[in-house]
Chain A
Amino acid sequence: MSFINYSSREINCKIVYYGPGLCGKTTNLQYIYNKTNPEAKGKMISLATETERTLFFDFLPLSLGEIRGFKTRFHLYTVPGQVFYDASRKLILKGVDGVVFVADSQIERMEANLESMENLRTNLAEQGYDLDKIPFVIQYNKRDLPNAAGVDELKRLLNPRSVPDFEASATVGNGVFDTLKAIAKLVLTELKKGG
């Protein structure tokens, strides 16, 4: 839930990166962190296991600039993708303004993508959100791998509603900022509507 502070003239929004285990959510945030000017970012926090799997969340605060005298700040979070961390995923979705679904393009991860998408819908519904109504974009990640499924196939299975979607290779950064800009824009547009 965005937070408008007239006193400090700030607007804060929360964006959550969702998707199956190892799809590249944390890698997206790391790339954004590495490529952002120091004055536009805060510290990146990763609550992870010793093997660098997200345990609770990653957190990255970003400042995008001003709109009409208001500083716009985006708080990016990732969820832990591993199936058994469902309780944590629900907590992180609280107060969300926009969701990025990161799909793993590898053919053998298709089942995991579908399961995670379904899980996203269910967990949002539990918080009173409808996935079809909130700002939402999809990223097909790991396009660089030889076993990546065709984009048509991914679109057909994961994006029947044709929300904005992007191909990406998060390790080298392809598509990472396109994805971020798209979701940030949708969130601001929603605010404009008075959501």
Chain B
Amino acid sequence: MADQQMVMYEEEFRQIAAICERLTREANAKAVLLVDKNGQYITSNGETNDLDTTSLASLAAGTNAATNGLAKLIGEKDFPNNFLEGEKYNLHFSIVAQRAILVVMFDQRSSLGLVRLRVKRASEELANIFGAMLQKAQSQAQGAPFGEITDDDIDNLFSE
């Protein structure tokens, strides 16, 4: 298939979560979200209780896909960083390792300059982890743990 299957293991997940936690703190962000480029939510940190993170993930991926479509149209490879400015809240998007989108939500307690600076380091670190994760997924048996599921397991999902 076109893209490689994304598999997230415990160890990498903890590392990723720690980076997001630090980014939230160092960037004075309200919240930080990490989203797969295809719209799957990975993790988040900060004040996310009143955020619909599933919807946010899907819309962030849609926005990113549209922005990259625009880039290609005018002969750019992509627009790796994007900024949306609101009255109260702002969103900063950046692409990590061609695989994920790092979303930072911030207000007047922070600034675009600070967010950019902190995002740069965080996304480099995240890129390393993603690289390792993809290698690991490649070397492990594909499809596990789903290799063991039976047709009955699948049927049971649909029994009312």
Interface residues of A (CB under 8 A from B): 1-8, 11-12, 14, 42-43, 45, 47, 56-57, 59, 61, 64-65, 67-68, 70, 72, 75, 87-88, 90-92, 94-95, 127-129, 134, 181, 184-185, 188-189, 191-195
Contact = CB atoms under 8 A, between A and B. Distances in A.
Contact of B37 (A8, A95, A129): A95
B84 interface: no
A127 B65 CA distance: 13
B158 A185 contact: yes
Interface stretch (B2-10, B103-111, B112-120): B2-10
A14 B9 CA distance: 20
A11 B146 contact: yes
Contact of B143 (A3, A6, A45, A191): A191
Nearest to B141: A194
B146 A188 contact: yes
Interface stretch (B22-30, B55-63, B89-97, B123-131): B55-63
Contact of A94 (B38, B52, B55, B144): B38
- Interface majority SS (helix, strand, loop, mixed), chain A: mixed
Interface string B33-69: 0001111101000000000101100110010011001
Nearest to B70: A87
Interface residues of B, number: 43
23 contacts: A1-B3, A6-B7, A6-B8, A6-B9, A42-B52, A42-B54, A56-B66, A59-B39, A59-B62, A65-B157, A68-B146, A68-B148, A94-B38, A95-B3, A129-B1, A185-B154, A185-B155, A188-B154, A191-B146, A192-B146, A192-B154, A194-B141, A195-B5
Contact of B5 (A4, A45, A90, A189): A4
Contact of A192 (B2, B4, B141, B149): B149
A7 B9 CA distance: 6
Interface string B128-160: 000000000000011111111101011111100
Given A57-B62, A191-B146, A7 B5 contact: no
A61 B149 CA distance: 23
Residue among B8, B36, B58 with the highest chain A CB neighbour number at 10 A: B58
Nearest to B154: A188
Contacts of A184: 157-158
A1 B58 contact: no
A3 B6 contact: yes
Given A1-B5, A3-B40, A91 B66 contact: yes
